[in-house]
Structures are given as structure tokens and as C-alpha cells.
Structure 1
């Protein structure tokens, strides 16, 4: 006798159709793209106030300076015989005048002074700043006092620092008293260059020292312990551990200092004074031209200085590999993260 199954009795549930692998692979990139788009919009929204401020204080003055450099203020007689002044379009004439005549000689002198001060001061500051960082990185009694005292020159305003060193470099000042001579430090000549270099190095060497010290603090102590076990002395540790590991920080510090030194104005202006040929820089020259109401040539000087600073920054970033924005470090971190995920899925 055969029995029939009740129609109300439920049989085993049929398995849900499996989602094809291709569909799963397509869904993930779409979710990632949507998430990336949302994060990009949020980042743009958060950065918009900063970009607006930068456009107002950097982009607009730069465009205005380029526009002003194409004009020149000229005076003459109008149709009624009265003196009339106005601006006329001269194209690149203001830039051509930078290399010819008396204006050309003054520009080349200011350009050479700017380059000389930049190379000399940054080189001395790098050596002295590295020495200060090595001294502050060692463990000894009174290290906190040393670090605080090194900050003092950098914290002093540049104008105050210029007045301080002007008092030191007077004819009857401390400098001449110590060396037992009567040198006119604040007059024309090589002595004025030396005075500017000494004052600049004293003020800004702590900046490089503090940045390099921050880079040294990140180096693990285990690296030095392993080097000491292998018989490496202090010089070998400095050459093969400290300097290579603080190189990114040191390059960024040197780049910032070079960009600041190329725009040097206030220290030689206060210490030596305006109109001194031996210490006149491009910034001082642009200020003098604008003070004489020659805004076209002053804007041309400013544009050339901007291009000079931009060229130095590009060389440091592209050739020497100064990671200013941290993009290189971010790429390395992402690459390491991808490698870890790939190893975890094996």
C-alpha cells in the first residue's frame, strides 16, 4: 500500500541561487568609487576656505604684479600744455631694462648679493643646526635648559635682532672691543656682508636644529644598539644611521631656509640700511623702486624674484627629493598596506 505525501508538508528548502563571482567583483569597485567620490567632495568642501584665502593673498597679488610689470608710469604735456601723468603699456620693456644700463647693473648686483647670502647663510646654518641637534639629542643634565636657550634667537623678531646686532657692530661696540680693531661693520664693503651673515646665522640656525632634532627623535634606539654591538663608532653611526635617516627632514628644513633667505629684506635693511650696494638684495631693490613710485619696474623685480624662488623649490623637490607635502611618505605607506593585505589573503 502506497502512501502519498501530504501537499501541505514542506520539503527541504531550495538553496538560494549563488551570486556569480563576476557580480561580486563588479559591486566592490562601484562601492569604492562611490565612497571615493564622497570623500573627494568632502575634502574639496573642507579645503575650499583655505583655497579661497590663498587665492586672495597669493594668486590675486601675483596676477596683479604681472599685470603691473607690463606698464610704466610716464609724464608729459597734454594738448593744453599741462603736465599729465599716466601709465602706458610697454610690454616686456621693464624686464629688458633689468639687464641693460644702470638699472641692469643694480639688478645684477642685487641678484648676486641675494644668491651669495642664501648659499652662505644656509650652508653655515645647516652645519651649525646639525651640530645643535646632535648636542640636544644627547642625554645629559640641563638638556631642557639648552633646548629652551637655543629657541631664544629664533623667537626674537627680525627687526629687533637687526637692532641688537647693529648695536654690537657699532664702531665702539662689543665686536670691535673683542677683536681690538676699528672696523666699520655697517658701512659699505665686505665687513657689512660679514655682519649680515653673522646675524642671520645666529638667528635662524636654531630653526634647522629643531627640525633635525625632531627627525632624530623618531630614530629607534635599537638601531644604535645594534650598530654598537657590531662595533660601529660614533662617526660611523652618524654617517650610516643618523644622516641617512634624517635626510628627508634636513632637506625640507634647508628648502624652507633657502626660500626664506632668497626673500631677505628686513635684517640687512635694519642692520646696514637701505641703499647700500654691498648688501642690497632683490627684495630691497623692489622696495626701493616702489618707494620711488616706479611700480612697473618694482613689479618686474618682484616677478623675477618669484620665478627665482619657484625654480629653487622645483629643483629641491624634483631633483633632491625633498618630500615637502609628505606625498612620498604616503605612497610608501599605501604600498606597504597593499603588500600586507596581499600577504593576509594568501
Structure 2
């Protein structure tokens, strides 16, 4: 005698939902130490900076003309002063410089980094030496790199000797922006090239061989095979560079100097406020920069990267839908 017991799709969905919940609890338990560390090193400083931005310290006078001691709650006054106050022009200038450096340098570094990766990926004699020489600028500290380029761009330096003109690169003007862009691109383009090289090395050789058999040339193979397959790694490299350039400080500060309108960035304004003991406005500048970086990163991931939140929601809601369309049945045969 043979008996067949069949479980319906509802039971299968309940078992699978239980497995997912169990895996989620295990993942949360394993990741909890990381979340705690992130809350301490990221969450608390952000909250503390926002709280500090709502206060002012030592910037007011009492009825006798003495400086008011302690913190004074001013609400959003520090933020309104940033956008519409007497020094709002400096903020908009720094915001424009920061955005300009981000767009130009990241674009140049992406193009040069991909070119470097393609060169380093090819098999030729002396490839190890070429890879090492390309990665040397990335290994040099930023301050040391800025000092080297300051020597190059001085009045009697190498740059003026090459172009045959006397350009004061480290003074006010658009040429100061060009100097910062050249120095930053020289230093960090190898970083993009290194990440892209890692992506190129995981592409199977058979894919390119099949494309050549089908008649695809070098340019078509790059656009239709290499670039799409290396896109995830390239997007990560570009995202890292976006976040890094938006916080640009040390390179223009050492190469050109502080209080230069041509190269002043948001981090430099925040630093200047903090060194003058105006911690409330400095925290407000830092908070605005944090929001700006977060918005740019989210927009970049949303437009060009993967929709992580959407993928998670789709995965959670896919179970009932798939169960309705394709009922899962499990049969167990018991023979007596």
C-alpha cells in the first residue's frame, strides 16, 4: 500500500519565511558588533556636530560689554548665516570650487585610470616595472605630493620652464585651480587604475576570444565586453573618489595655501572657523558638507549603481508572488 502526502504552497511559504527570518536574526547577531562600532565612531560624532551647530560660544557681549561665557542656543541661525549671512559669498564660492574640483578631477581620473588599467593588464616584457611605476604616486602621502608639486609650480620651477612662460601658479586665479587638478589627478588616478585592473583580471579570456571570432574589433570589444563587465568595479572606484574629493583639504591647503578664494573648499572654511574658536559655525559647515556628500553618494548609487534597498524589498516580497504563480509541492511516499 502506497500513501502520498502533499504539502500546499502555503506551508512551503511558511517554512521558507521561517528560514529567512532565522537567517536574518543570525545575520543581525553577527553584524551587531560592527553596528555598535559604527554607532560610536560615526553616529555619535554626527549627532554631536549637529548639536554643536545649534549653539554659539564666546561670540556675544553682555550688557557690560564682556564676552558671554558658555554656550548660547541660537537654533538654526548658524545655518541661515551660511546661506544668507554676511559671509554667504564665501560659502557659495567654496561650494562652487568643491563641485568643480569633484567633477573635473573624477572625470580625468576615471579616463586615465581605465587607460592605466588596460596598459597594466596587457602581457609584455617589463609589465611589473610599469605597474610599480604607475602606483608610485598613490603611495606618496598627500602632503608630500603637494610639496613636490609646489616645487614644480613655483615661479622658476619645471612647469614654467616647460611651457616657456612665467605663470604664478600658487596665487589667485584660474591657474591655481589647474595646478590643484593636475596634482590631484597625478596622485589618485593610479587608485582608479588599480581597482579597474582587479576587475579586468577576473574577466574570462574566452569571452574576448569569442568576440574576436565573431569579428569584433578592439574598440567594439572594449565598449561591449570589457567596459560592461568591469562596470561594478569602476563604479565603486568613482564613488570612492567622489567622496574623497568632496572632502578635499590638504592638497590645496599645502599647494596653494589657505584663504585663497580660487581654491577654497568647504572643509577649508570649516577649518578656518574652528581655528578661530567659532565652533558653532564650524559644526554647521561640517553638517552641510555631510549632507552634501550623502546626497551626492545616494544620487550616484541610485542613478548608476544598484538599488540595494529596492533589491532587498523585492526579495522579501517575491516569496508570496512566486508561490501563487508556481505552487511548490512536496511529496513524500510511505510504503507499507
**Could you say whether these structures have the same fold, taking a TM-score greater than 0.5 normalized by the shorter chain as the test?**
yes
Higher relative contact order (CA 8 A, sep 6+): 2
Q: Kindly provide the CA deviation profile for residues 57-87 of structure 1, in whole angstroms up to 9, marking residues without a partner as x.
A: 11111111111111122332367x7543232
Q: Secondary structure at the match of 2:170?
A: coil
**Is 1:219 the equivalent of 2:203?**
yes
**Aligned position for 1:163:** 147
Determine the C-alpha separation between the residues in 2 that align with 1:83 and 1:221: 72
- The structure that has the greater radius of gyration is 1
**Aligned position for 2:127:** 143
State the shift of 1:44 in Å.
2.0
**Is 1:152 the equivalent of 2:136?**
yes
Q: Secondary structure at the match of 2:71?
A: strand
**Aligned position for 1:5:** none
After TM superposition, the structure 1 = structure 2 runs for residues 81-160 of structure 1, keeping only pairs within 5 Å, are 83-160=67-144
Q: Secondary structure at the match of 1:188?
A: coil
**Aligned position for 1:294:** 278
Q: CA RMSD in A?
A: 2.9
List structure 1 runs of 4+ shifted beyond 6 angstroms: none
State the shift of 1:278 in Å.
0.6
**Is 1:42 the equivalent of 2:26?**
yes
State the shift of 1:103 in Å.
1.0
**Aligned position for 1:21:** 6
**Aligned position for 2:60:** 75
**Is 1:268 the equivalent of 2:256?**
no
Determine the C-alpha separation between the residues in 2 that align with 1:35 and 1:243: 38
Gaps of 5+ in 2: 331-336
State the shift of 1:214 in Å.
1.6
Distance 1:82 1:99, change over 3 A: closer
State the shift of 1:43 in Å.
2.1
Match of residue 239, structure 1, among 190, 209, 223: 223
Determine the C-alpha separation between the residues in 2 that align with 1:44 and 1:218: 31
Q: Kindly provide the CA deviation profile for residues 249-297 of structure 1, in whole angstroms up to 9, marking residues without a partner as x.
A: 2122111111111010111111111111110000111110111111111
**Is 1:186 the equivalent of 2:161?**
no
Distance 1:33 1:227, change over 3 A: closer
Determine the C-alpha separation between the residues in 1 that align with 2:10 and 2:70: 69
Distance 1:22 1:92, change over 3 A: same
The count of aligned residue pairs is: 319
State the shift of 1:206 in Å.
0.8
State the shift of 1:309 in Å.
0.7
Determine the C-alpha separation between the residues in 2 that align with 1:20 and 1:47: 40
Q: TM-score, normalised by structure 2?
A: 0.86
Q: TM-score, normalised by structure 1?
A: 0.83
CA contact (8 A) 1:133 1:213 kept: yes
Higher deviation after alignment, 269-278 or 98-107? 98-107
Q: Kindly provide the CA deviation profile for residues 299-342 of structure 1, in whole angstroms up to 9, marking residues without a partner as x.
A: 111111111111111111112225789x79xx7xx99xx9xxx9
**Aligned position for 2:190:** 206
